[in-house]
Amino acid sequence: MTEPQEAKEVDTQELADLVSRLYDLAGRSDVAPEARSALLEAAHALRGELVTLVSQTLARDGAAIERTMQAIDAVHTDLARAEADVQAVTNVVGSVSRLTRSLDELVQVAAGVVSKV
Amino acid sequence: VRRSLALLACLAAGCSTLAPYQRPVHTFEAAVHATSQTLGPYITDVNARIVEANLYEKILIDREWGTEDLNGMSPQALALRLRALSILSSYASALSTIAAADDLGEMRKTVQTLGTDVDALAQTIKGEPATSAAGGLVHDLGQPLTSLVGLIAGLALEHAQQATLERDIVKAAEPIDRLIDLLEADVSALMRVYDTSYAAIRNGTLRLSSETRKQLDGKDPRALHELIDQLVAESRKIELLRAVQMGGLLESMRAAHHALVVFVKSGKRSSDMAQLAMQVDGFADQMKRVTAALDGIKAGDAGAGTK
C-alpha cells in the first residue's frame, strides 16, 4: 500500500534567508569582484523567484480547495445515507473516488508550486 | 420598538453581566485597530519596495533598467488583504460597542460600517475568475464572509446583552480565525519579500555611495563626511525596518481572539478572567512595541531631514 502523497509548499522563509545571506556575502569587501558579481546575479534571480512564489501564494488556487471541500461534504452525506440504508453504499464508493481525484488535483497544484523553484 | 425598549431596560438596569467583557474587548478592539493601521501601509507599500530593489539590483549587476523592473504584485490581491484587515477592525469595533452597550445609535453605526466593509469586499471580488488572485481569495474567504453577513444581521436585530455578545463571539469565532490565519500567512510572506528587497536596496545604496566616494576622495572632505553620515543613517534605518516583527502581530491577535472565545465558554472564574486579560494585554503590548519601533524609525527620518 502506498503512503498518501503529502501536499508540500516551498518554505519562503528559507528562500528569503538564502537571498539575504547571498546579499550579505556579496556585500563583503574581502570577496573577489568576480565572485561578488556571481553572488549578486544569484541573489537577483532568487529574489525574483521569491516574489513570483509569494504572488502565487496570494493568488491561491481557491477553486481546487473549494472542489475538495465539496467532495468531503459529499462523502459525509453519502456515508450518513449509507449508515441509514446499506443499499446506498455504492454512492459512498463513488463520492470517495471523486474526493480522491480532488485531493490528487490539490497535490498536483502544490507540486507545481514546488517545481517552480 | 420592543427590542429597543428591552435595550433601554437593560441599560437602565446597568447590564452588569457585560462588565467582565468591557475592558478586554475594548483593549482587543484598540489593538486590532492599531494592527490594521500599521499593517495597511506595509501592504500598500510592498510594490514600491519591490520596484526599488529591482532598480538597485540592475545597478549591482550592471544591466539596463527595463519595464519589467517596474512590476510588482497584483494590486487587486493586495487590496483584498487591506479589505480583510478592515473587516477585522470593524468586527472588533462591533464587539466593543456591544460590550459598552451604552449607545444604540453608535452600535447601529458600527454595525453598518462592518456591513459596508463586507459589501465592499464582495464588490471588489465580484466577477473575478477563481484562478485570479482575487478569485482565489474569495474561495478561501467564502465561508468567513457568509458568516459575517449573518453576524451583521444578528447584531442589527438583537439588543445588546451578555447572551448576544457571547453568541456573536462564538458564531464569528471560526470565520474570524480563518481570516486571521489567511492574513497571517500572507503578511508573513510579504514581510519576506520586504526583507529581501531591503537586502538588495542596502547593497545598492552601498554601491552608489562607493561611486560617489570615488568622486569626492581628496577633493571635498566635508561632502565625504556627509556621505558617510547618510550611509550610516540609511543602513541603520534598513536594519531597524528588517527587525520589526510584523507577522507576529497577527499571531498575537489570533491568540487574543482565541482567549476571548475560551472565556465566553468558561465558567468566568477569576482565573479565566486572568487568562483572557493576559492574552489580550500581550497582544496590545506587542502592538505597542511595534508602534514604538516604527515611531523610532520615523523620528530618525525626521532628524535626518532637519540636519
A64: enclosing H helix or E strand: helix A62-84
Indicate yes or no: CB of B53 within 8 angstroms of CB of A47: yes
Q: Tell me the pLDDT of chain B (307 aa) as tens digits.
A: 333 333 333 333 334 456 677 788 889 989 999 999 889 988 899 999 999 999 999 999 999 999 999 999 888 778 778 877 887 887 787 777 766 655 555 555 666 666 666 666 666 655 555 555 555 555 555 445 545 555 554 554 444 456 666 766 776 677 677 778 878 888 888 999 999 999 999 999 999 999 999 988 888 889 999 999 999 999 988 888 888 878 788 889 988 988 888 887 787 777 888 888 888 999 998 888 888 888 888 877 766 554 4
Question: Residue B141, CB half-sphere, CA atoms under 13 Å: how many?
Answer: 31
Predicted ipTM beyond 0.85: no
Check CB contact of A20 with chain B, cutoff 8 Å.
yes
Residue A92 Cα distances to A51, A96, A99, B97, B305, angstroms: 43, 6, 10, 48, 70
C-alpha cell read off for B117: 466593509
Cα distance between residue B304 and residue B295, in whole Å: 14
C-alpha cell read off for B163: 447572551
B197 Cα to chain A: minimum distance (Å): 8
The per-residue pLDDT for range B95-113, each reduced to its tens digit, is 777 666 555 555 556 666 6
A47 Cα to chain B: minimum distance (Å): 7
Indicate yes or no: CB of A54 within 8 angstroms of CB of B189: yes
Q: Tell me the pLDDT of chain A (117 aa) as tens digits.
A: 444 444 456 678 888 988 999 998 989 888 888 888 988 998 998 898 889 888 877 776 444 444 555 555 666 566 667 666 766 656 656 665 665 565 555 445 544 443 332
Indicate yes or no: CB of B131 within 8 angstroms of CB of A12: no
Sequence-ordered alpha helix ranges (H) in chain B? 2-13, 19-60, 75-100, 104-125, 133-157, 162-216, 221-243, 247-265, 270-305
Mutation target among B70, B140, B181, B192 for the A interface, most CBs of A within 10 A: B192
Distance of alpha carbon A95 from its chain centroid, rounded? 24
The per-residue pLDDT for range B47-103, each reduced to its tens digit, is 999 999 999 999 999 999 999 999 998 887 787 788 778 878 877 877 777 666 555
Check CB contact of B52 with chain A, cutoff 8 Å.
no
Check CB contact of A81 with chain B, cutoff 8 Å.
no
Residue B240 Cα distances to B133, B191, B228, B243, B300, angstroms: 31, 13, 18, 5, 11
Cα distance between residue B144 and residue B80, in whole Å: 14
Give per-residue burial for B34-65: e unless 16+ CB within 10 Å, then b: bbbebbeebbeebbebbebbbbbbbbbbeeee
Cα distance between residue B97 and residue B108, in whole Å: 9
The A residues from 22 to 51 touching B (CB cutoff 8 Å) are 23-24, 26-27, 37, 40-41, 43-44, 47, 50-51
The count of CB pairs under 8 A between chains A and B is 103
Nearest 5°: phi and psi at A4? -65, 140
Instruction: For B99-168, give the secondary structure using H, E and C.
Output: HHCCCHHHHHHHHHHHHHHHHHHHHHHCCCCCCCHHHHHHHHHHHHHHHHHHHHHHHHHCCCCHHHHHHH
- Give residue B121's identity as a one-letter amino acid code: L
Residue B218 Cα distances to A95, B28, B224, B225, B227, angstroms: 80, 58, 9, 12, 14
C-alpha cell read off for B284: 496590545
Residues on chain B touching A51 (C-beta within 8 angstroms): 50, 72-73, 193
Q: What local confidence, expressed as pLDDT, does residue A62 receive?
A: 41
Nearest residue of chain A to residue B72 (CA atoms): A51
Indicate yes or no: CB of A47 within 8 angstroms of CB of B78: no
